[in-house]
Amino acid sequence: MTATKGDTVGIVGAGSFGTALAVALARAGRAVVLYTRTPAVAQAIATTRRCPRLPDVAVPEAVRVVESPRELAAAARFLVIAVTSTDVGPRLVELGAVLDGSHLIVHAVGALAAPDDVRVSELIERATPVLRAGVLAGPALPGDLAAGRFASMVVASAFDEVTAETRRLLNLPPALRLYGSRDVIGVELASALAGAYTAALGLADGVKVGVGPRAVLVTRAVAEAARLLEAAGGQARTFAGLAGLGNLLVRGASADDPDYAFGQALARGEAATTRPTEGARAAVTALRLAERKRVRMPLLAGLAAVVAGKASVADAARLAADTVAAEE
């Protein structure tokens, strides 16, 4: 039986998360259309059922790969945006030309959108005719999704229909559980900050600070993140949930996480030769937001300084420690 447009999940982006989600959904019997703008990626999946960005995982035949945004829009009413913060703007402009008010979008972009440092939900409103959107975040690692291991995420939207459809189409218990929230601002910022603080944990572990200072880093991260969420119009407690602290605890314990690996590269002094991750970009963009909101975030400021090459690891750690001590 051919799946209807309403029962098909469209995924924008064949990166590790987008591909892993497609694999998990297809294995559970969902109809999935995976959109990529990269012909080599589409060809690889079509011919070998392997995605270059998740090479160890077989992509089920049920995952249909398309290279046309119009074909994606025609096939699926519900879309998941799973691209980077530097790529999301152009992709939304593309989609804006082919989507209409009947489509629903949730995004899983873990940083503010470049180059204007806006939340992606704001960009969706600007660039597309989509009326109902939301954000998807939480500790669901691509490897766990693809392997069917337990993972959980939160979907936040101001629209009950978006939350309900996300849970109907993406909830795959026990492999993936979805929880709902109305705090769109809080979940978006928590997701971005979790990536930044994951890089900070990688850095801390890389210089072997020990379990005590590591625990202090996590608790101080929760405190300063809560301040920013509240100042930006979100709920302070949101960072203590899946999108923030839950995300951080899982990703900060995974050597395969790109943000954690980036932090470790910083600790080795390889910042100049290491490609920035979403967490690295989130550190810089979220700090600019914090400065506009007049929120002090010493841990984030220290990480952003190292990422930008403006401070050594030792200098940033000393600055963060001195500032935190002064706040006590």
C-alpha–C-alpha distance, residues 53 and 78, integer Å:
23
Q: What domain count does the chain have?
A: 2
Same domain, 118 and 148: yes
Domain shared by 66 and 118, yes or no? yes
- The CATH number of whichever domain residue 257 belongs to comes to 1.10.1040.10
The SS3 of residue 295 is coil
Residue where a domain stops, chosen among 159, 182, 205: 182
Mark whether 57 and 164 lie in a shared domain. yes
* Domain ranges, residue 171: 5-182
State which of 182, 202, 232 marks the end of a domain.
182
Helix axes 120-127, 184-206, angle to 10 degrees: 130
Residues 211 and 230 occupy one common structural domain = yes
- Separation between Cα atoms, residue 54 and residue 36, nearest integer Å: 14
Quote the pTM value.
0.93
Q: Domain check: are 55 and 106 in the same one?
A: yes
pLDDT tens, residue order, the chain (328 aa): 568 999 999 999 999 999 999 999 999 999 999 999 999 999 999 999 999 999 999 999 999 999 999 999 999 999 999 999 999 999 999 999 999 999 999 999 999 997 788 999 999 999 999 999 999 999 999 999 999 999 999 999 999 999 999 999 999 988 899 999 999 999 999 999 999 999 999 999 998 988 988 999 999 999 999 999 999 999 999 999 999 999 999 999 998 899 999 999 998 888 666 788 999 999 999 999 999 999 999 999 999 998 888 888 777 766 556 555 555 5
CATH of the domain at 62: 3.40.50.720
Domain identity same for 26 and 147: yes
Q: Concatenated DSSP letters for 218-281?
A: HHHHHHHHHHHHHHTTS-GGGGGSIIIIIHHHHHTT-TT-HHHHHHHHHHTT-GGGSPP-HHHH
Residue that is written with structure tokens 């929760």 in the block? 222
Please give the structure tokens belonging to residue 175: 């492999």
DSSP 172: B
Same domain membership, residue 111 and residue 142: yes
